[in-house]
Structure 1
Amino acid sequence: MKSAANHIELIFSEEGKLSHLPNYEFRPQQREMAEAVTSALEGRSHLILEAPTGVGKSLAYLVPAILHAVKEKRKAIVSTHTKNLQEQLYRKDIEIARSLVGHDFYAVIFKGRKNYLCTTRLRNALRQQRQLFDTGEAGELLRIQEWSQVTRDGDVENLPFTPSQSVWQQVCSEIGTCSSMVCGPHCFFQKAKRQAREATVVIMNHALFFTLFAMQDAEEYFLFKDDFVIFDEAQTLESVAGLGIGKSISRAQVLFAVHRLYNPKTKKGLLAKHRSKHHKELCAQAERATNAFFEEVQMAVRALSEKSTTLRIRTPRFVSETLSRPLQQLRSAVREVEDDEKSKVAKDELVAAKRLIGEAEMLVEEFLEQSDSALTYWVELSSGRFQNVHLNTAPTSVADSIAPKLFKKGTSVIMTSATLSVNGSLAYFQQRLGAYDARTLILDTPFDYQKQMRLVLGKAVPPPDNPAFEAAIPEWIYGSIARSRGKALVLFTSSYLLRKVAESLRGRLESEGIRLLVQDGRTSRHALLGEFKNDIHSVLFGLDSFWMGVDVPGEALEHVIITRLPFAVPDHPLIESRMELIARQNGNAFMDYTLPEAVLKFRQGVGRLIRSKTDTGMITILDSRILSKQYGRTFLLSIPRCPIELLGPDGGAFQAEMEEVADI
């Protein structure tokens, strides 16, 4: 049998199997990455690997993962941040890998249970539809029943309409009512679970991985026996892991749990046909108590901070605990009904409803107690017709909370992304996750940035903290757009500034035949990106979500304009508490957290431009702090070296050298 190293050579060498694929070009960085992944898997060690755009990292980790999993009878978990990458891996890259490895294997995408239709719960809902649903909802239920007879996977994403939450929550898989003992082999979630157990490769998202990981007690594996995990898009791990292992409860969730039993307004629910008025009154009482409690939370937040919709809570019992007793009384009453219920169907649903009430009661109590000093507690208020209120907790230090369990001995965690390093080092990423024992590797870029990219720096632009910045920036953006005749992605850090500049420039741009696309909430991100790709005479103004995950090769995107360096405002409770923790440990919150986070986001933004070896274009930075502040050097040295131009007061550009610029 060939060794793993021989397999990698046969596939990734200049004359290997990959070289016979259409449009393939040999990349030594891809082979180096495949060798590093193979070595980590064989040695059951951990690896952090930065693979710049164009390396072909998906195949460089998939092929070694499949070869190792098949040979050693192990399971490969591949976790991504975005749905787009999951789909690309499953529909394209897995099939290419299959043609290369010479082994048969099985791969699946696995999602959270609430994405799947449970056929047992569907049958239960159909039997109880008169007491659970109004006419419109009953119509949706029948459409779901028809779909259940033709769908292959029962995934709500493939449902030909968007069901209301009140209906889908009654038929999706749920702990307690959907299990291998209760459901037969035709239940879609049980089928998906079985397929994941049998698969060689399981693809999922980071959020699901860490949610399941937090529930897993076994020390010798992550989610499946003898598994290993590869995190692609690993730059998001700290934020996603923190929320995944944290907890949240909202007004809407508590009301759903109550209304599942009985909704006083619609007179629907599991107890709708129950003769006792007492139980229905307890539901009404719990509903009133829920609204009163969360309104008190909302008023307390408004009193502490008039404008902010997110507030850190530092004081236990900052509002009165008025919710536990009504929920306890309701739970006790449900237990009585459950004991008397003869129908197993109704009994199972009552047990599940009682569990939800109990969970809500426990989460509210834990939030008010604030008994765990390692957690950050905060409230979020949502706007809109129904003002929801969320109580959230998450670990202040992800490294302290997950590192011992995640980076265990005897298995492998492989983390990769195009942007993980700061100033040529992966130490910051290691420290934030606590991955101190992981080997680190930064691959060279396959692109020739000296020929493909220019960097233009707005030396004469007023800095963002200067009152003149807001008035001046529209003209500087207009001049920059004119230099490339459109074809530009303009990245903002403030929705206010984005709207103001869009209002100021829309008429001028459109009079010159340049269509302005704006991320203003009216059009989805996906639709905006599609229009931008298809119209080479357009400009796109984007916020946070456009700094990463945007792939527009070719002439539609030849210019990325960064309006200001992406420093996060420390107004989110988690950011605030993490900075306080650094200060308590005698660190420098700006140098040790704020700056590295901004550099990584900056690198993501710059990375939107060059997506292939044939792409060319320019990056314009309109934040003059990159030249005037000492930390600007860290930003400049974290992106590929390329020709540099400086913008003078008249908007004219003149050439400069990196050494000269970095010393300004």
Structure 2
Amino acid sequence: MFGHAVMIIKLVRPVLSDGDSIGALLIKEDLEPQYGYSDPDQAEELQGLISAADVFAYYEEADLGYFRKMGGIPQTRINVKKLAMILFPREGNYRLYQLAEKLGIAKSENELDLISGILQKCEEKGRTFDLTFFSETADWLDHPELACFFQMLKSAVLKDYPDRPLRVIDQNDFPEEGLFYQPRKEQILEDKNWVLECFRQDGLLAAAMPGYESRDLQVEMAGKVIDGFLQSRNTVIEAGTGTGKSIAYLLPAVWWARKNQQKVVVATHTIPLQTQLDQKDLPFLHKILPFSFRGCVLKGKGNYYCRRNDQLERQKRTHFTGEEKTAFLSLFVWRLETRTGDLSELPQQPGMTSVWSSLGADSLCEPGRCPYAKSCYLLMARRRAEKADLIIINHSLLFSDVKTDNQIIPEYSYLIIDEAHNLYQTAISQLGFELSARSIDWLLNGIAGTGRLSLVAALTGLLRGEQFNLNGSELRDKIQSVSQSCLSLHEQSAELFSFFASVMGNQNGIILEEAYVGSEDLSFFYVGLENYLERFRTLKMVLESINKLLFSDNDQISTIKYDMIKNIVELGEMIKGLEDILKQDRQGRVTYLEKNNGIYLKHSCIDVSSIIRERILEKNASTVLTSATLSVNGNFDYFTKDIGLTENFQTVIYHSPFDYKENVTFCIVKGLDVSSAPGSLMAGEIAGFIGRAAALLKGRTLVLFTSYQLMQHVYHQSEHWAAAEGLDLLAQGINGRRESILRSFMENPRSVLMGTNSFWEGIDVPGEKLSCVIIVKLPFMSPSMPLVQARSNKLEEEGRNPFIELLLPEAVIRFRQGFGRLIRSGTDSGVMILLDDRVLKKYYGRYFLDALPIEQYFTGRSEEVLAKMNKLVAE
């Protein structure tokens, strides 16, 4: 492709600035290595080549300082990593070695070979595009280097494929069946025993899986699922790790759905489990079952790429940052490849986060009336769901369906809820209302801001155009009213949230009731909220009046009206939430402030058990609720009361088949005052212990915290020993998002991963990559959290003990989840360490110890536990 010399370098700025040697690889047009340079002393040989060369650097843009020293300036400097992010948008990890492996490039210790290979893959991928792609991307190439590369690609395509047909990207038609649906001869047997026989040693599963061993627990669980369906009875199943629960409920579910022509819905809490069911388990069942079935994933509107919203965003490209334009370039490639339009396929690379939320379908979306309906991913997802036998959703969508009176999920009567221990908290979150200064600022910036093309700017542009039949004077006055209303609302918002900050002080949350904030502050709150609400209403009315003025069918006006109606709807939702707060209805609801990367005003149900019972459990013929952790020492009362399950249900526990006695060493460290001493004082001691333990195991350690603040303190106290031991220290929110640091942890065994709440579950790291889990504190919820406080108050009013009936069972279930991170397969082994010795000192400690699948544990001070670990490592 390249008509002159090309250099590929691994560019690292500190190396260049120090003047040390830099590796450079000179390659010819066919990308075959010819010879290399590793020492700047060979400058004479390089000088004649530099000025005619294209330099492809990895990690950063090329630094010209090096080349000036060599006596020439290269023709172009192109970032190979950025090219890979654009041309391979779904890879997610763009570290050199990991990306090279994913792209199938031969392993090499020479990084220059890998960079060369990646560049070659980029060229090969680019040559598959047609001229439509190059025309669409031309306006987004704000870097001359990128423009140069894409121009060379376009020239190569024109030369090699002059007759390649153009493709109309926005009119792709995809099959509405599941991606692996293949009709075939039906053999659906009526007897449930046929299903159970599939799990036997000579059944379908064994025939398809070499080395398969029938598990009695899995057979029994499948039978319980079928019995629940047959008897129209709810079933609560606790199935320990290794039970094989996903297949134990999926196989009966698809059999039942096909036999009775009844949809079955499966709801999960975490994305990894949803992905496993969709991409691993269902395709496996499609392959082995003697009958066909349709399975699909259904998500909320905002998860599906919307072509209309894409077009609206493109109009703002002159306001995009360089990173956002690069993200959009990767989006152009992704659109050619995606079959589902699910935006979660796109990694959260720099620039993508800020535009991601604008690309999904929104509350105004009506696929049937949209000009892009023929290729609408949301519409296709809904059609697949209508035809599906089994639909996979998440807990959030389940409650979104409840809020919309069952307008989202196609009608169904059979439901399986996996990871059901999260159901109550998801209901609290989804059925509540929240508002933050950040969300208000985002809304107001979209209406009258100075950043991207705002609504006010678009309306002002109409006035300048003068080609539309509009009342210019009236529109001008109303535009001014919009700007004034936005300014007024912004000022009121700043004042109100400043008041919230003063009320909260150093607290992370507070209930907005007289007992907690006093009568004077409470009165000020309601007066301020009334004024706040009035400003929302004023802005909404002005936008509605402008919307009535715009009646042309012109595309520009249609776009503005669509954007305006979205803002009107969003304002309406905020107004409704504020009105609910001002009703001051204390029956079963609580209004409070919470601090989490900003201050939030929230209004939530205290008890959602009646909603779950009436809108989910009683609606369905049968609901199966399953998880590895639902009981507290064999008792399901806490869980069943939480979800309103009071009659017509059965419960069963299937303990994990793994040999924890042989494979887990559980140690409790005595003498660390982690439960009462301030985190800032204990951070050094905790970090020291973690460092010595991780050094013994050469990484492979997960540390679970209950406090983000304590984790930060410990992380910063740990950086020195991590560097000294050559270990990669990864912390949630410090080194990246949950998914990215988990991926880094799995790719590099010499790592220590620190996480808070979301790392206590949904982490599946089998084998030797994880050999030690350290739990810093028992995972009690803070009694001062507003919702916990409100629920505790309610229990006390009923004459019940909040600690015994709320805080303790929640902590035990959470503790079991954390413990479950260590052993994920029958061959796993490792060390579990608890730094909180309250399990030995307090009466409630036995609840935690009795909840674990082991009977013996080792106790000792830090040195004794480390000595025990050293002995284990030596063995």
TM-score (norm 2): 0.68
Amino acid at match of 1:334: L
Residue 306 of structure 2: aligned partner: 118
Q: CA offset at residue 242 of structure 1? A: 1.1
2:344 alignment counterpart: 157
AA at the equivalent of 2:659 = D
Partner of 2:751: 538
Query: Structure 1's 359 and 3: CA in aligned 2 closer, same or farther, altered over 3 A?
Result: same
What residue number does 1:331 align with?
540
- In the TM superposition, what is the alpha-carbon distance from 1:549 to its structure 2 partner? 1.5
In structure 2, what is the Cα distance between the partners aligned to 1:292 and 1:457? 53
| 8 Å Cα contact 1:121-1:177 kept in structure 2 | no
CA 1:50/1:456 → structure 2, altered by over 3 Å: closer, same or farther? same
| Equivalent position SS for 1:62 | helix
Native 8 Å contact 1:476 1:651 kept in 2:
no
Structure scoring higher RCO (CA < 8 A, sep ≥ 6) equals 1
Aligned counterpart, 1:2:
189
Which stretch shifts more, 342-351 or 34-43? 342-351
| CA–CA distance in structure 2, aligned partners of residues 313 and 6 of structure 1 | 57
Stretch moving more, 244-253 or 450-459:
244-253
Distance of aligned partners of 1:457 and 1:74 in 2 relative to their CA distance in 1, 3 Å threshold? same
Note the C-alpha offset of 1:620. 1.7
- Compared CA separation, residues 320 and 145, structure 1 to 2 (3 A): same
Q: Distance between the aligned counterparts of 2:366 and 2:727, measured in 1?
A: 54
- How big is the shift at 1:430? 0.8
- CA offset at residue 579 of structure 1? 1.3
**Inter-CA distance 510–75: structure 2 relative to 1 (3 Å threshold):** same
Supply the distance in 2 between the matched residues of 1:306 and 1:27 (Cα, whole angstroms): 56
* SS of alignment partner, residue 864 of structure 2: coil
User: Does 1:307 pair with 2:506?
Assistant: yes
What is the CA distance between 1:372 and its match in structure 2? 5.2
Residue-by-residue CA offset, 1:312-339 (whole Å, 9 max, x unaligned):
2224716242233343334333333333
Amino acid paired to 1:233 = E
1:286 to 2:481 alignment: no
Q: CA deviation at 1:515?
A: 4.5
How many residue pairs get aligned? The number is 644
- Give the superposition deviation at 1:448: 1.3
2:399 to 207, 210, 223: 210
Q: Distance in 2 between matches of 1:422 and 1:625?
A: 18
CA gap of 1:369–1:35, structure 2 versus 1, over 3 A, is same
2:767 counterpart residue number: 554
Q: Where do 1:500-519 residues align within 5 Å?
A: 500-508=713-721, 510-512=723-725, 514-519=727-732
CA distance in 2, matches of 1:637, 1:654: 26
- 1:63-212 to 2 correspondence within 5 Å? 63-122=251-310, 129=315, 134-136=318-320, 151-158=338-345, 172-182=360-370, 184-212=373-401
**1:370 and 2:566 equivalent?**
no
Please tell me whether Structure 1 or Structure 2 has the larger radius of gyration of its CA atoms: 2
Give the match's secondary structure for 2:736.
Answer: coil
Alpha carbons 2:263, 2:412 under 8 Å: kept:
yes
Distance change (3 Å), C-alpha of 1:182 and 1:266? closer
| Residue 626 (structure 2) aligned to one of 413, 416, 420 | 416
Tell me if structure 1 keeps the 8 A contact 2:668–2:859. Answer: yes
Q: TM-score, normalised by structure 1?
A: 0.88
Report which stretch shifted further, 351-360 or 28-37: 351-360
Instruction: Compare 29-38 and 637-646 and name the one that shifted more.
Output: 637-646
The residue that corresponds to 1:662 in the other structure is none
Q: Could you say which residue in structure 1 is the equivalent of 2:411?
A: 225
1:500/1:213 CA distance change after superposition, 3 Å: same
User: Secondary structure of 2:391's match?
Assistant: strand
SS in structure 2 of the partner of residue 555 of structure 1: helix
Query: Letter of the aligned partner of 1:56 in structure 2?
Result: G
Task: Give the superposition deviation at 1:642.
Answer: 4.1
1:33 deviates by 0.8
C-alpha displacement at 1:282, in angstroms? 1.9
- How far off its partner does 1:266 sit? 6.1
**Please, which moves more after superposition, 32-41 or 264-273?**
264-273
8 Å CA contact retained: 1:313, 1:379? yes
- Deviation sequence 1:192-233 (CA, Å, 0-9, x none): 222211111211211122112221168xxx932233221111
Superposed, 1:383-402 pairs within 5 Å as 383=597, 389-402=599-612
Q: Deviations over 1:83-109 (max 9, x none)?
A: 111111111000112233322111111
1:247 matches 2:444: no
- Superposed CA RMSD in Å reads 3.1
Can you list the C-alpha shifts for 1:66-125, whole angstroms capped at 9, x where unaligned? 111111111121111111111111110001122333221111111111222333455567
**In the alignment, residue 419 of structure 1 is paired with which amino acid?**
T
Q: Secondary structure at the match of 1:243?
A: helix
Matched-pair contact (CA < 8 Å) for 2:777–2:836:
yes
> 1:381, 1:389 within 8 Å by CA — same for their partners in 2?
yes
2:495 aligns with: 296
1:449 partnered with 2:660: yes
Q: Give per-residue Cα distances to partners, 1:329-385, cap 9 Å, x unaligned.
A: 3433333333333335355554443323322222223233333521222234554xx
Residue deviations 1:34-68 (CA, integer Å, cap 9, x gap): 11111112222211111111111111111111111
Whether the aligned pair in 2 keeps the contact of 1:323 and 1:361 (CA below 8 Å) is no
Pair 1:505–1:78, CA change in 2 (3 A): same
Is 551-560 or 622-631 further displaced after alignment? 551-560
Q: Which runs of 5+ in 2 are unaligned?
A: 1-187, 464-471, 514-521, 869-875
Residues 781 and 807 of structure 2 are in contact (CA less than 8 Å); yes or no, is this contact kept in structure 1? yes
Q: Which moved more, 1:443-452 or 1:400-409?
A: 400-409
The CA distance in 2 between the partners of 1:165 and 1:630, in whole Å, is 48
Counterpart residue number, 2:177: none
| Equivalent pair of 1:421/1:429 in contact (CA under 8 Å) | yes
1:567 partner SS: coil
Instruction: Please say which of residues 1-10 and 480-489 is displaced more in the overlay.
Output: 480-489
- Residue of 190, 202, 217 corresponding to 1:15: 202
Worse-superposed segment, 285-294 or 610-619: 285-294
Distance 1:631 1:254, change over 3 A: same
Written as runs of structure 1 = structure 2, the 5 A alignment for 1:557-576 is: 557-576=770-789
- Find the counterpart in structure 2 of residue 595 from structure 1: 808
Output the amino acid matched with 2:227: S
Pair 1:298–1:351, CA change in 2 (3 A):
closer
SS at match of 2:767: coil
Residue identity matched to 2:617: F
Once the two structures are TM-superposed, the CA of residue 582 in structure 1 deviates from its matched residue by 1.2
Equivalent in 562, 568, 573 of residue 354 of structure 1: 568
Counterparts of 1:446 and 1:462, CA distance in 2 = 35
Which residue does the alignment assign to 1:584? Answer: 797
Paired amino acid for 1:603: R
Cα distance in 2 for residues equivalent to 1:428 and 1:351: 45
Quick one: distance in 2 between partners of 1:5 and 1:576?
Answer: 47
Cα distance change on mapping 1:511 and 1:649 into 2, 3 Å: closer
CA shift, 1:271, in A, is 2.7
**Matched position secondary structure for 1:464:** coil
* Cα deviation, residue 561, structure 1: 1.8
Give identity over the alignment, percent: 29
- Residue equivalent to 1:429: 639
Letter paired with 1:367: I
- State the AA in 2 paired with 1:342: F
CA contact (8 A) 1:461 1:476 kept: no
Which residue is 2:700 aligned to? 487
- Structure 1 stretch 468-477 or stretch 423-432: which is displaced more? 468-477
My pick for the range that moved more, 72-81 or 110-119, is 110-119
Change (3 A) 1:159 1:539: closer
The structure-2 alpha-carbon separation of the partners of 1:198 and 1:162, relative to structure 1 and needing over 3 Å to count, comes to: farther
Aligned residue in 2 for 1:661: none
Partner secondary structure for residue 319 of structure 1: helix
1:404 deviation in Å?
A: 2.0
Q: Which residue of 1 aligns with 2:66?
A: none
The residue identity in structure 2 corresponding to 1:241 is: A
Kept after mapping to 1: 8 A contact 2:221/2:248 = yes
Residues 81 and 206 of structure 1 are in contact (CA less than 8 Å); yes or no, is this contact kept in structure 2? yes
